[in-house]
C-alpha cells in the first residue's frame, strides 16, 4: 500500500500523534509499505509536495474539522484516527470549551460521516460513533518496542516508590476515583513509601498539599525517550479512572507498567480489563484503593519477580510490529470497499 498520514500534534510537543500516527506508520513502512508523514497543518494549507493520486489512502489524526475541504476533494479513501471521547470531555479538561461549547464537535461529526472509515483504541469509543459511520475499527495503542528507551534498566533503591504519569486531562480521574485519601493514608501508614506524579497539570499538587518532598514529588512532563527510565524507578504504578470519559481511554498506562516491571494497581474499567494487572479497584471507595495498594506494597516487600516476569511476557507480545497486521487489514478493507463502490457507481 501507498499511504500518507497526517498528524495533529505540534511537532515540538508530540503526544497522541506518537501512538496514533508515528508508531503505526513506521511499522507499516518496516512491513514494506510506502509511507509518508505530514502534519495536519501542511495537509490543510497544501504546503507539501504530495499528490493524492500517488497514494492508496490518507489517514488523518483527530482534527477532521480542519480538513473538511481535503475530505471533500481528495479522491482516495480517507481514514480518521483518534483516541479521545470528545463528546464526553468533562469541564475540568482544558479542551472542554473547544469541543463542547464551540463548533468543533459538530464539525467533527460531520466530517466523520464523510470519511471512509475511522480507527480508535477503545471498543467503547468506536461504538459511540457507529451510528455516524458504520466503518469503525478498534486498534489499540501498541508501542514500538524496538526503541532504545524501552531497554532502560531497573535500579535498586530504598523504600517503595509509587508513581503515576499522565496528561492534563486526568484531574477527574484523581479527584473523583477515591484514590487521593487512600494514597494519603498509605503514605502515613507506610513510612517507607513515596509518591511521584509526572504531569503538566499542577492542580494535582494541591491534592497532596502538606506532604514534604521526601514523600511526594511532582515532576513536569518529559520527553518520551526519558519516560521508560522514569517508570523503571517505580515499584507500583497507579492508574485511577473515573466516569464515562475515562472508560474510553486506552490501555497505555497498564501496558507501560508491565513493560517496565512496575506493579499495576488500576481502576476496574474497560481500558485495563485485558491487561494482567496486580489489582483492579472497583468503584470509588478510598478503602478499596487503600487495600489494593497495601497488598501491592506487601508483594513488593516480599519480592515480585514472578509477577514482573509474567506481566512483561504478556506486554512484550503487544508491540506494534507483531500487531501491524490489524492496521493493514483495516486499511486494505477500506480501500477495497471504496474501490468496489466506485465501480458500482
pLDDT, residue 100, reads 84
Q: CB neighbours (10 Å) of residue 298? A: 12
- Three-state DSSP state, 280: strand
| pLDDT value of position 101 | 83
What pTM, to 2 d.p., does this model score?
0.95
Residue in 305, 325, 308, 306 with CA at minimum distance from that of residue 316: 308
Q: What pLDDT sits at residue 328?
A: 98
- Per-residue b or e along 181-209, where b marks 16 or more CB atoms closer than 10 Å to that residue's CB: ebbbbbbeebeebbbbbbbebeebeebbe
Q: How many other C-beta atoms can be found within 10 angstroms of the C-beta atom of residue 85? A: 22
**pLDDT confidence bin for 269, thresholds 50/70/90:** very high
Domain residues of the chain, as ranges? 2-143+320-344, 148-315
129-147 pLDDT, tens digit per residue, is: 999 999 999 999 999 999 9
196 versus 301: the higher-pLDDT residue is 196
Tens digit of pLDDT for each residue in 75-91? 999 999 999 999 999 99
Residue closest to 229 by CA, chosen among 198, 206, 189: 198
Q: If you average pLDDT over every residue of the chain, what do you get?
A: 95
Rounded distance between C-alpha atoms, residue 259 and residue 213, angstroms: 28
Question: What is the rounded average pLDDT of the residues 208-232?
Answer: 94
Same fold, 2-143+320-344 and 148-315: yes
**Domain 2-143+320-344 top-level CATH class:** alpha beta
For residue 97, is pLDDT > 90? yes
Q: What's the gap between Cα 315 and its chain centre?
A: 15
List all residues 6 or more positions away from 336 whose beta carbon is below 8 Å from its beta carbon: none
User: Model confidence at 93, in pLDDT bands (50, 70, 90)?
Assistant: very high
Instruction: Tell me the H-state helices in 117-211.
Output: 123-128, 171-175, 179-189, 203-206
Q: Which three cell numbers, joined as nine digits, stand for 200?
A: 503538566
Query: What pLDDT sits at residue 249?
Result: 97
d(CA 306, CA 302): 11
Q: Do 314 and 277 contact (CB within 8 A), yes or no?
A: no
Query: What is the strand order of the sheet 2-7 is part of?
Result: 34-39, 2-7, 57-61, 78-81, 117-120, 136-138
Q: Look at domain 148-315 and name its CATH class.
A: alpha beta
E strand segments, the chain: 2-7, 34-39, 57-61, 78-81, 117-120, 136-138, 160-166, 193-199, 216-219, 236-239, 263-267, 279-281
What is the per-residue pLDDT for 345?
A: 65
pLDDT digits (tens, 9 = 90+) for 10-30: 887 788 999 999 999 999 999
Helix (H, G, I), strand (E, B) or coil at 216: strand
Amino acid at each position: 500500500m501507498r499511504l500518507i498520514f497526517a498528524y495533529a500534534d505540534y511537532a515540538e510537543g508530540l503526544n497522541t500523534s506518537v501512538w496514533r500516527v508515528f508508531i503505526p506508520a513506521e511499522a507499516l513502512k518496516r512491513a514494506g509499505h510506502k509511507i509518508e508523514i505530514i502534519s495536519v497543518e501542511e495537509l490543510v494549507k497544501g504546503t507539501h509536495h504530495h499528490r493524492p493520486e500517488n497514494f492508496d489512502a490518507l489517514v488523518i489524526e483527530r482534527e477532521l474539522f480542519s480538513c473538511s475541504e481535503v475530505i471533500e476533494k481528495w479522491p482516495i479513501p480517507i481514514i480518521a484516527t483518534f483516541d479521545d471521547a470528545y463528546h464526553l470531555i468533562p469541564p475540568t479538561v482544558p479542551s472542554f470549551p473547544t469541543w463542547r461549547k464551540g463548533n468543533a464537535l459538530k464539525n467533527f461529526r460531520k466530517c466523520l460521516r464523510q470519511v471512509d472509515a475511522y480507527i480508535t483504541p477503545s471498543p467503547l469509543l468506536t461504538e459511540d460513533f457507529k451510528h455516524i459511520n458504520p466503518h469503525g475499527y478498534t486498534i489499540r495503542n501498541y508501542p514500538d518496542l524496538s526503541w532504545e528507551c524501552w531497554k532502560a534498566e531497573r535500579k535498586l533503591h530504598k523504600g517503595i516508590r509509587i508513581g503515576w504519569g499522565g496528561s492534563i486531562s486526568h484531574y477527574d480521574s484523581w479527584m473523583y476515583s477515591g484514590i487521593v485519601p487512600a494514597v494519603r493514608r498509605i503514605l502515613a501508614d507506610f513510612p517507607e513509601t513515596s509518591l511521584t506524579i509526572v504531569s503538566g497539570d499542577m492542580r494535582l499538587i494541591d491534592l497532596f498539599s502538606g506532604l514534604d518532598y521526601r514523600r511526594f514529588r511532582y515532576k513536569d512532563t518529559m520527553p518520551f525517550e526519558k519516560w521508560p527510565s522514569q517508570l523503571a524507578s517505580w515499584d507500583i504504578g497507579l492508574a485511577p479512572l473515573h466516569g464515562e470519559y475515562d472508560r474510553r481511554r486506552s490501555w497505555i498506562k497498564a501496558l507501560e507498567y508491565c513493560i517496565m516491571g512496575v506493579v499495576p494497581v488500576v481502576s476496574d474499567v474497560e481500558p485495563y480489563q485485558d491487561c494482567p494487572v496486580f489489582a483492579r479497584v472497583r468503584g470509588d471507595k478510598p478503602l478499596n484503593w487503600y487495600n489494593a495498594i497495601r497488598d501491592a506494597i506487601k508483594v513488593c516487600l516480599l519480592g515480585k519477580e514472578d509477577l514482573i516476569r509474567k506481566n512483561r511476557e504478556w506486554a512484550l507480545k503487544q508491540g506494534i510490529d507483531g500487531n501491524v497486521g490489524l492496521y493493514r487489514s483495516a486499511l486494505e478493507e477500506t480501500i477495497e470497499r471504496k474501490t468496489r463502490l466506485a465501480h458500482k457507481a
